[in-house]
Amino acid sequence: MVAQIPYGRVTTYGTIAAYLGAKRSARMVGWALNATRDNPEYGHLPCHRVVNRNGEVTGERYFMGDIMCERLKQEGIVFIDENTVDLVKFIWDPSRDSNFKNESFD
């Protein structure tokens, strides 16, 4: 799912969880991403494009250092704060992406 996030866009844990049908499992999304951390298979995953509901790049302090913020800025994401992106402008809603809409995640 995270791998489908378009360049220059971000999405939130809740959005992903909601789209997968697990609206109340936002934490699980973070947990899932955490699992990819030491998993070489997902090493290339654009996890820096996943932020929390407030647009805060919380994972930054947790494990990737400044990598996440730097890559986001590099992609044209506008930060409204030290570690907060302009979620209103760059939020990516999977249900509004025609290329992604047809994927099945039952």
Q: Which residues are catalytic?
A: 47
Q: Which is nearer to DNA, 7 or 21 (CB)?
A: 21
Tokens of 89: 């402008």
Residue 52 backbone class (left: φ over 0; alpha: ψ -120 to 50; beta: rest)? beta
Tokens of 102: 């047809």
CB atoms within 10 A of CB 85: 23
Residues 28-87 that bind DNA (CB under 7 A): 28-31, 33-34, 36-37, 47-48, 50, 52-54, 58-59, 62-64, 68
Instruction: Name the site residues for DNA (rule: CB under 7 A).
Output: 12-15, 17, 22, 24-31, 33-34, 36-37, 47-48, 50, 52-54, 58-59, 62-64, 68
